[in-house]
Structure 1
Amino acid sequence: MRKMIGKAGHVAALATALFLASCSSGSNTPPAKRHDFTIGWSIYAGWMPWPYAQQAGIVKKWADKYGIKIDVVQVNDYVESVNQYNAGKFDGVAVTNMDALTIPAAGGKDTSAIIVGDYSDGNDGVLLKGADKLAAIKGRQVYLVELSVSHYLLARALDTVGMKPSDVRTVNTSDADIVGAFGSPDVTAAVAWNPQLSVMKALPNTHQVFSSADIPGEILDLMVVDTKTLNANPDLGKALAGIWYETVALLKRQDAQGQAARAAMAKLAGTDTATFERQLATTHLYDTPKAAVAATTAPALVTTMTRVRDFSFQRGLFKGAASADAVGIAFPGKRTLGDAQHVTLRFDDRYMALAADGKL
């Protein structure tokens, strides 16, 4: 995921990430305490609280509380936003769990996921023409953005019906082209995300046979921050948590203020309120810090990240790694997946927990 227009270019992005990491990770000098920070985001329903918070003054409110300044910056291309974070142009970025692992973490940039914001609960789906059962996908060409969460969703779907990746042939298709490609009579299978997914589902004789709602909690949307920067500036984590939960609480309200906030977010996303509301309906927001902490500390997250890292390794996204264990992933409670001496992705629930306890 994670913008309404694209998450492609993964292989090129990873190559860039590895190069940038090799250039930037040589210094062991700890970051100094700082005043100004920049956070990157791209358009996706679950991330629209960030630009709205800046527009509404919520970012400034929380930054002022901690005596810092935070600039929330839009990047039109999702992968480019992650690359800019990787290059040190951003201190944090809105990213999926898979991309946090395969771009900065696999490239050697120590990254902390401080907010687990939501999971896709139907925003991503597998479509077939002329069949309403997933088993009918066998032998078909499947159009998707290869090496993206669409590819991961396909692999998980195939698992559920006892198929292997070799039972289908994927055709790499950009998110910008997938709607047009699926409109061709010769194309009978595809994996896509919203809003393209909703357009494609409306085509005649088309059926959604699997979606991210069938693997709840696996395609996660995060706010990640450079770990060294965070450790030197914990007030950044506190401010970001305060911003997020205040804004999401407003987003969920059903009164006039909530409606106005959702309308403003829709406008910032370049869509209408009704479309934005439909996308929110297939986005499971962890709208309270307590719910987010529970999700982050649950054993299910380790299971999910095991699946994600195994898929990523098998597809060659851990360049030069001898095994999936090469990239260490840390979880609350001192749990570690993979190489505990080379942890570069950390699920850090401290700031969500402070919000849950009312201690921000």
Structure 2
Amino acid sequence: MEFTTKLFTKYLCNSTSKLLSISALCAVLIFAPSTASAESKPKFRLAWTIYVGWMPWDYGATSGIVKKWADKYEIDIEIVQINDYVESINQYTAGQFDATVMTNMDALTIPAASGVDSTAVIIGDFSNGNDAVVLKGAAKLADVEGKNVNLVELSVSHYLLARALETVSLTERDIRVVNTSDADLVAAFTTDDVTAVTTWNPLLSEITAMPNNTKVFDSSMIPGEIIDLLVVNSKTLSENPKLGKALTGAWYEIMSTMKGSDKAALAARTEMAEASGTDLAGYDAQLASTKMFFEAKDAVDFNNSSALITTMWKVAEFSFKHGLLGEGAADAKFIGVETPTGVYGDKSNIKLRFDPTYMQMAVDGKL
């Protein structure tokens, strides 16, 4: 067929009869292969939501860095902002996105618990003060006893609250959780009825800027437990390793651009700040309470540490207690979580994988 097409093309293009229709057909035949190739370029979608550690994805899209790396691996990557964090994970779980940003707990309790095998390709950071319990008109954590606490129920905020209560010999039975959308938390705290909240930045910064409140517990007191990830569908990643390479390459170029205090770094962080509704000073303040892994090696070391299994054990125990591992979960080990140092949970039901492969490629300069 290829031989016949080439002969036909040569015949038409060399014919002394230069009719317009023949010239047009000649052009179509010559350029058809490249058009077909462009149309067959694999396309992928990544969802993100506003958070200090995830703003780099927006910058990567607007600056062209993501496209640069996608072009290198001959794929298309669409970066899509979703206004509601949990909804973004739900859409990923439903197959509407190939990748999205989420915490380690949400990766376990939403896609993994729904049977969607997912891989943490990039560990971007962990919260080191970006999540906190805030009380109005009270100065210490123990004062939360008997109060309603507004938060996004069954999220990392809920986990943080539970871990905080342990430190003052309280349990969730000593407070009342009021499920509140992250979109409504700031407005809720301005009312007289709401006197306690648990939330994350940038909402946290808005709330703590209000008068008569105290941050009584934050994630710096449980370092390394609330981890921010880029998660990719494991089947998609296995079939398209170029996606993992492109995303990781883009991420560490963004990290290299935004760190430090040179003109390019300040411009990048200023853009991220404005996109998240603050200014450079405000964004840098949020970064100060975030343990960003600007260097791939640091992320790999964290990923490969045995402490990761301990963290996932704590998260799994909380999740099981709150019925987040699915109806069939008999215990906290129902879902297998694979890490370089071993598997926590059921090895025959691995649905969440911490795989440093692509980050290690960045370390080794192989992207």
Shorter chain as normaliser: what TM range? 0.7 to 0.9
- What is the one-letter code of the residue matched to 1:44? Y
Does residue 324 in structure 1 map to residue 301 in structure 2?
no
Task: Judge which range, 143-152 or 287-296, deviates more.
Answer: 143-152
* Aligned-partner Cα distance in 2 for 1:302–1:234: 25
Corresponding residue of 1:295: 302
* Aligned-partner Cα distance in 2 for 1:316–1:257: 46
- What is the one-letter code of the residue matched to 1:149? V
Corresponding residue of 1:51: 58
Shift of 1:271: 3.2
What is the SS of the residue equivalent to 2:101?
strand
Q: Map 1:48-87; keep pairs closer than 5 Å.
A: 48-87=55-94
Corresponding residue of 2:196: 189
Does residue 262 in structure 1 map to residue 269 in structure 2?
yes
* Aligned-partner Cα distance in 2 for 1:185–1:237: 48
Q: Map 1:33-52; keep pairs closer than 5 Å.
A: 35-52=42-59
Consecutive unaligned residues in structure 1, runs of 5 or more: 1-32
Shift of 1:43: 1.5
What is the SS of the residue equivalent to 1:341?
helix
Aligned residues: 327
Shift of 1:186: 4.2
Q: 2:148 aligns with which of 137, 141, 146?
A: 141
Q: 1:178 aligns with which of 182, 185, 195?
A: 185
Residues 194-242 of structure 1, C-alpha deviation per residue, up to 9 Å, x if partnerless? 2222232233332111001111111111001111111111121111111
**Aligned in 2, Cα 1:55/1:352: closer, same or farther, shift over 3 Å?**
same
What is the SS of the residue equivalent to 2:333?
helix
Task: Judge which range, 269-278 or 153-162, deviates more.
Answer: 269-278
Consecutive unaligned residues in structure 2, runs of 5 or more: 1-39
* Aligned-partner Cα distance in 2 for 1:85–1:177: 23
* Aligned-partner Cα distance in 1 for 2:51–2:144: 28
Corresponding residue of 1:233: 240
Q: Map 1:111-190; keep pairs closer than 5 Å.
A: 111-190=118-197
Contact kept, 8 Å, 1:34 with 1:233, in 2: the verdict is: no
Q: What's the C-alpha RMSD, in Å, of the aligned pairs?
A: 1.7
Contact kept, 8 Å, 1:141 with 1:171, in 2: the verdict is: yes
Between the two proteins, what is the percent identity of the paired residues?
Answer: 56
Shift of 1:53: 1.3
Residues 120-170 of structure 1, C-alpha deviation per residue, up to 9 Å, x if partnerless? 111111112333222222222222221111111100001112222212222
Shift of 1:34: 6.8
**Aligned in 2, Cα 1:108/1:34: closer, same or farther, shift over 3 Å?**
farther
**Aligned in 2, Cα 1:176/1:236: closer, same or farther, shift over 3 Å?**
closer
**Aligned in 2, Cα 1:245/1:308: closer, same or farther, shift over 3 Å?**
same
What is the SS of the residue equivalent to 1:118?
strand
- What is the one-letter code of the residue matched to 2:220? A
* Aligned-partner Cα distance in 2 for 1:67–1:182: 48
- What is the one-letter code of the residue matched to 2:270? A
**Aligned in 2, Cα 1:269/1:205: closer, same or farther, shift over 3 Å?**
closer
Contact kept, 8 Å, 1:179 with 1:199, in 2: the verdict is: yes
Larger Rg, first or second structure (1 or 2) = 2
